[in-house]
Structure 1
Amino acid sequence: MTHPISGTTTKGTTHPVLNPATGEVVASVEVLDGAAVDAAVLAAQKAFEAWRDTSIEQRVEVLDRIADIVHGNAGKLSELLTLEQGKPIAESRMEVDTTEATFRRYADLGREKGAALFAENLGEHVRTFTPLGVVAGIIPWNAPLIVAAMKAGPAILTGNTIILKPAPTTPLATLELSRLLADAVPEGLVQCLVDDGSIGPLLASHPGVRKVAFTGSTVNGRNVTAAGASTLKRLTLELGGNDPAIVLGDADPGTAAAGIFARAFLNAGQVCGAVKRVYVHDDVYDRFVEAIADLVRDVVVGDGFDPAVTVGPLQNRIQHEKATALLAEAARDGTILAQSGVPDVDGGYFVPVTVVGDLDDAHPLVAGEQFAPILPLLRFSDEADAVARANSTEYGLTASVWTSDVAHGESVVQRIDAALLCVNKHNRVDPALGIAMSKQSGTGWLFGPEGVREYLQPHLLFR
């Protein structure tokens, strides 16, 4: 597969893309080098000269057109996602639908806010906001299309141009989207570069790139920050999470188990804001274990193209090796409370959906981000202790409290240092509402008018 860069095709060395359910090579993509990065940045700068002067109505029209293209090609994009990422086809379709909805939401935001996005009247003075220029959107392998929309949507709305760089292991759906857009949007407005892991630092340090919007691990976020330091890049970083759920003693165990199960094991646990550890009050612990074990028994792990499958493989070999080691340590040091089966096949990156008890807070499965379908349960008897333990990691992405007393749940969850707080739900996002990153889970804002302003340069005009 080749790359559309400013309407041309650029070739380099090839890189295999694997199906994580089988380990088979399903495509070869051409990996680009520094010269290709320079060409893409130059094309984006040229496109910016005209795009920056477009009206909000023109930008909204382009966002609507992109959403229509995603909708019209939902089947093909969903199949590519399952092929390269592994998630069940129903989850892939959900991702495509959310991608469409994200572009539409940014179009709606442009219609609703209009010129107010770009100017604030301060009495006798005014604050204006202008586009930055070329944006680099660096995309992870767990949800490539949704994250592409989260970066391209605000960039386009604010008059910037964007270069998307998907992860080396999941380039296909993003490349296909960029091809579909080639004849539908101005040349150079949206480009896509694929690499073997070498282009990200080049984009982050490139003097022609004004902003980097990155989603990925905290370790790689630090690397992006370091690469961009020489040119003081504007950064938006959405990074890792070790997201706690606290089940209080008055919670309904079945309801809490169902909600936590859904948010812990979506995409085989490969979600930044997924539930990663659960603190359960002694009064409901046993009943919670029974309820979540019943759900685990119904899980079908396998190839995402099989409609009966509810949890797919992990996306890549490195993640599979990490998860397999964590599972072995958890089985050695704790108690397996519930576990699904896995397919008896060679080559797939399958890990059983597993719930583990009797681990201490220092255990690697509890203290770090597993990004796998392995969930530790931890007992508590004192709410203050549970909150302190929930706050004990370097991360601060999402958190939830489960209770029959919503008002009390709100008071408890607001003591947790996380960007997104929920009661009786977890990791719910509304693109109309901004979320500010916290601790080492990121910097800047996502979504809402605040997230859009991340793509603009403020100016204070005295008059």
Structure 2
Amino acid sequence: MVPTTLQNFIGNSFVDARGTGTIELVSPVTGLVTAISPVSGEADVDAAVSAAAEAFRSWRDTTPAVRQSLLLKFADAIEDNSRNLAEIQSRETGQIISLIESEECGVGADQIRFFAGTARTLGGLAGGEYMDGFSSMVRREPVGVVAQVTPWNYPLMMALWKIGPALAAGNTVVLKPSDTTPSSTLELARLLGGILPPGVVNIVLGDASTGEKLVAHPDVRMVSITGSVAAGRAVGGSAGANLKRSHLELGGKAPVLVFADADLPAAAEGIAQAGLFNAGQDCTAATRVIVERSVHDRFVELLVEEAVKLRPGQPDDDDAFYGALNNAAHLEKVLSVIRNLPDHATVVTGGHRIGDTGFYVQPTVVTGLRQTDDAIRREIFGPVITVQPFTGTDEAIRMGNDVDYGLASSVWTKDHATAERCSRELDFGCVWINCHIPLVAEMPHGGFRDSGYGKDLSLYSVEEYTRIKHVMTAH
């Protein structure tokens, strides 16, 4: 099969990039090149931003009802094309096609419908007389052209999390998808081209250099990225230097606190699924388990029993739980972590690549690690779950908070007071109790510390894409 050559999407048209570089997109399943993607240069970025800036002049004045109607059409288009979107994405991610359909297309369509509703429900202070002789009102306005950068672990869903709230608030968008997984985002753009006015959503392809040019463009007024901590620091620094608003959703190292009174079989099942879903390539994954010492060994046995059930498989294998790792470099990174575990660590199950073709890794459970070990402190982003013991709630909370990240966490206990205390003291943007990883459109998703700032999902995410103006009138 001859690899296809991808194009940028600017002003509702697919156009060849003017940049000279290219990227080979490699299937994580076969290792073969599936497409050639351009590395967009300054002229390409400028064309996309100019199209978005021109479209913003009229898009910002559309009524909330119009924006809602168009977003609802977009949600319908996602559902109607879910199989095609999933198959396109799976060629570049190696994910299970049926899981993309259910967890990104189906859920994503629901999230877009939620954002459609928020276009008509943004609020603020009531207008009134707060000073004698004067009346005040608050205007909530769109920011302008928004630059957005999405990762490779959930390409379709992350694009929807970015595009939905930005459009609902009246902004226009230039989005750069990950250099290894752009095609499902381009297919979303094709769908949007039949719904939105030209220039409202634009897609530029490329690598980190393209993203840097987009973030630094003088006509971009806000930057939103989901990615690594290093990428977030670079984007935040560039945005700050130019006084642009930034929204950073970065990595995670979720603590999973399991107390002795928890339903251990249910906890093991839920944690195994939440740790291995999408091959552990999830910044909220339940991969750092901290379990009460008195039940540590029993819990490890239960966790291993559940983990080995969740085997990886080919994209069309509906009985498989997860697919391949995204790319060869990431496969090597995950395997390197396992190979370089300290002598005091024990790989209880897994720990190896599966086969010579495709980027597959066994479900892996590791015990014996110490709080200072890199495998505890740094994001592995693979199907690797670590288990550490604790004694007492104070130690559990201290160990849970003792990383640089602050995105997500969970607590497994039957004791309400313990759950309440942990939810208050864990320094993470989300605390799940007796569950881990479910998300709903109505609730915010975002972290603290090195996990960044700002919220995806919920009304809070739409508010991030607005600015507040006070208008005061003398009587």
* 8 Å Cα contact 1:205-1:229 kept in structure 2: no
1:150-176: CA deviation from partner (whole Å, max 9, x where unpaired): 111111111110111100000010011
Matched, 1:65 2:73: yes
Aligned partner of 1:168: which letter?
A: D
Aligned partner of 2:137: which letter?
A: V
Residues paired across the two proteins, number = 459
Match of 2:441 in 1: 431
- SS of the equivalent of 2:246 reads strand
Find 2:12's aligned residue among 7, 13, 17.
Answer: 7
1:99-149: CA deviation from partner (whole Å, max 9, x where unpaired): 2111111012234x1xx4366436542221111110111000001111111
Change (3 A) 1:406 1:199: same
- Displacement of 1:296: 2.0
- SS of the equivalent of 1:271 reads coil
* 8 Å Cα contact 1:86-1:312 kept in structure 2: yes
1:168-207: CA deviation from partner (whole Å, max 9, x where unpaired): 0000100111122212211001111110321111111111
Match of 2:3 in 1: none
Aligned pairs for 1:47-196 (under 5 A) are 47-93=55-101, 94-111=103-120, 113=121, 116-117=122-123, 120-121=126-127, 123-124=129-130, 125-196=136-207
Match of 1:302 in 2: 313
Q: Which whole-Å CA distance do the structure 1 matches of 2:30 and 2:72 have between them?
A: 37
Q: Which whole-Å CA distance do the structure 2 matches of 1:320 and 1:224 have between them?
A: 26
Aligned pairs for 1:400-419 (under 5 A) are 400-419=410-429
When normalised by structure 2's length, the TM-score is 0.93
Q: Which whole-Å CA distance do the structure 2 matches of 1:31 and 1:118 have between them?
A: 42
Runs of 5+ in structure 1 lacking a partner?
none
Matched, 1:440 2:446: no
* 8 Å Cα contact 1:15-1:28 kept in structure 2: yes
1:204-247: CA deviation from partner (whole Å, max 9, x where unpaired): 11111011111001111001112223321111110111110000
Find 2:323's aligned residue among 287, 312, 325.
Answer: 312
- Displacement of 1:331: 7.2
* 8 Å Cα contact 2:39-2:210 kept in structure 1: no
Match of 2:406 in 1: 396
Q: Which whole-Å CA distance do the structure 2 matches of 1:442 and 1:118 have between them?
A: 26
Match of 1:219 in 2: 230
* 8 Å Cα contact 1:136-1:211 kept in structure 2: yes
Find 1:369's aligned residue among 379, 389, 412.
Answer: 379
Match of 2:431 in 1: 421
Match of 1:450 in 2: 460
* 8 Å Cα contact 2:7-2:205 kept in structure 1: no
Q: Which whole-Å CA distance do the structure 1 matches of 2:174 and 2:126 have between them?
A: 29
- Displacement of 1:450: 2.0
Q: Which whole-Å CA distance do the structure 2 matches of 1:342 and 1:326 have between them?
A: 13
Find 1:228's aligned residue among 225, 229, 239.
Answer: 239
Match of 1:350 in 2: 360
- SS of the equivalent of 1:421 reads strand
Match of 2:220 in 1: 209
Mean Cα deviation higher: 7-16 or 150-159: 7-16
Change (3 A) 1:392 1:338: same
Change (3 A) 1:343 1:276: closer
- Displacement of 1:391: 0.6
- SS of the equivalent of 1:376 reads strand
Q: Which whole-Å CA distance do the structure 2 matches of 1:216 and 1:137 have between them?
A: 11
1:89-108: CA deviation from partner (whole Å, max 9, x where unpaired): 22211211122111111012
Runs of 5+ in structure 2 lacking a partner?
1-5, 131-135
Matched, 1:387 2:397: yes
Aligned partner of 2:267: which letter?
A: A
Q: Which whole-Å CA distance do the structure 1 matches of 2:352 and 2:105 have between them?
A: 28
Find 1:45's aligned residue among 53, 70, 83.
Answer: 53
- Displacement of 1:341: 7.1
- SS of the equivalent of 1:414 reads helix
Aligned partner of 2:219: which letter?
A: G
Identical counterparts, % of pairs: 34
Q: Which whole-Å CA distance do the structure 2 matches of 1:160 and 1:243 have between them?
A: 33
1:371-418: CA deviation from partner (whole Å, max 9, x where unpaired): 111111001112101110111111100111101123421222321100
Q: Which whole-Å CA distance do the structure 1 matches of 2:466 and 2:310 have between them?
A: 45
Aligned partner of 1:196: which letter?
A: D
Q: Which whole-Å CA distance do the structure 2 matches of 1:56 and 1:139 have between them?
A: 26
Change (3 A) 1:383 1:29: same
Aligned pairs for 1:235-250 (under 5 A) are 235-250=246-261
Aligned partner of 2:79: which letter?
A: H
- Displacement of 1:344: 2.2
* 8 Å Cα contact 1:87-1:313 kept in structure 2: yes
